[in-house]
Amino acid sequence: MFTSLRTKLTLSMLVTSLAAISVMALITPWLLEIRFEEEARQVHFSRFVRLIENFREDNGQWGGQENALLLHKRILDSSSRLARSPEASPSHPGDLKPERHPLDSETFRYVLADPQGFVFMPFGDYQAGQQLTDRQLERSEPLYNGDQLLGYALGANEFPMTEQDKSYLMIQSRSMLLGAAAGLIVTLLLSLTMGRQLIKHLQSLTRAAIEMSKGNLNQQVSVEGKDEIALLAREFNRMALELNNTYAELKASNETIKAQAEAMQELSLRDELTGLHNRRYFNQQFRLMHHQAVRYGENLALALGDIDNFKQINDRFSHQIGDTVLKQVAKLMAEEIRDADILARYGGEEFVILLGHTDKHQAEGLVDRIRAKVAAWPWQHIHKDLSVTISFGISDKLDTDLGHSMLVEADNRLYEAKDQGRNRVCI
C-alpha cells in the first residue's frame, strides 16, 4: 500500500514536470524560429534598401522600367565579377570566403520591385522589367527609408534560410532538450527524496488510526515540522486526546452520557439562529398530528409564513440585520402561539405553525394577530429605514396522503397572499 502511494506520488511529480517541459520544448522552438525569421527578414530588407539607395546615389534617379532593368544589369555584373575574382575561393582550407553579393545567393526567395512595381530582381517565373499587378503589390511588403517608399519585396512561401541559420536553430533546440532531460532527472531525485519522508509520516498516522479503530484511543504521533503533514499530525493528536478524555468522562458516569445524548438530540431538532424547532422536528410532529387528526376526525390547521421582501432586506441592510430580523420575528411568533402548537423555522425566511384542534378560521385569527404584531413592531430600533411585514397561507385540508395536500394548499395560499400585495393572510 505504502509503496503504491510512493509510486503514485513520484509519477504525479514526473508527469507534471514532463508536461510542463514538453510544452516548453514544443512552443519555445516555434517562437524562436518565428523571432529568428523576423530578425532575418529585417536584415534582408535593410540590405534591399541600401542597394536601392546606392543605385539612386549613383544614377541620380529611381523608379520606372528603365531604371529597374539598369539596376538588374548592375546586380548581374556585380555577381559575375565576384564569381571571376580570385578572392572568391579561399587559398587555404582554413580561410573564409569573401562575402558575396547580398542578392547573389541560392537561398534568395524574393522578387524586388520599384515603387511602380517594375521588377529589378526576379525570382521563379518573374522577369526583370515586368510590372507587378495590384494584387501582387498588396501581398508584397513595402521597403521604406524613413517615410519614403523605395520599392516592394514579394517573398516566396519558403523563407530564405542559410545552412548557418539552420545549424543555429538546431543547436538551440538541442540545448533545450538537454535542459529538459536535466530537469526530469532533478525532478525524479527530488520526488524520491521528498516522497520517502512523506510516506514515513503517513505510515505513522495510519498505524495510529488503525489502533484507534480497535479501541486503543490513547494514540499520539510524533511528526515535526510546519508543513501540512505536521499540521495533520498535531490535529490528530489533539483530537485523539480530546476523544480519549471524552470517552473517560462518559464511561465514568452513565447519567452524563444520557444528558449529553439528550442535549445532542435537542440540538439536532433546533434551528441554530432563531432557537425555534427546525424542519426535521416539524416533519416528525406533523406526521403524528396529521395521522391522529385523520384517524379521530379532529381539526388540524397548518400556516406557512414568509417574511416579505426578505432578500431586499439582506441586500440593502446586510445579512447581519437580516439575521436579526429573523430572530425578532421568531420571538414575536413564539409569544402568540399556544403551548400545544408547533412553531418551526421551515427554511430561509419561511416559518410554519401547526395548530391542533383548530380549524382554518380559528387559525386565521391567531395568525393575523402575529402578522399585525410583526408589522407594528418598531423595526427602526434596528435600522432607521427598516420595516418588516409577513404573509401567511393557511390550510386545514385533511387527506390520507400523509399531509402532502395540506402543505401544498398552504403554500398556494401563501403565494396568493404575496400576489395580493403581501402583509396579509389567505385561507
**Whose grid coordinates read 441554530?**
272
The rounded distance, in Å, linking the Cα atoms of 317 and 126 is 78
Name residue 354's beta-bridge partners. 302, 342
Closest CA to 143 of 38, 46, 41: 46
CA angle 2, 8, 13 (to 5 degrees): 130
Residue by residue, DSSP assigns 329-380 as HHHHHHHHS-TTSEEEEEETTEEEEEEET--HHHHHHHHHHHHHHHHHS-GG
Closest CA to 203 of 225, 234, 229: 229
163 part of the active site: no
Name the catalytic one among 53, 349, 364, 409.
349
Closest CA to 374 of 413, 408, 312, 422: 422
Name residue 141's beta-bridge partners. 153
The rounded distance, in Å, linking the Cα atoms of 49 and 145 is 7
The rounded distance, in Å, linking the Cα atoms of 415 and 391 is 9
Residue by residue, DSSP assigns 192-220 as HHHHHHHHHHHHHHHHHHHHHHTT-----
Active site residues: 349
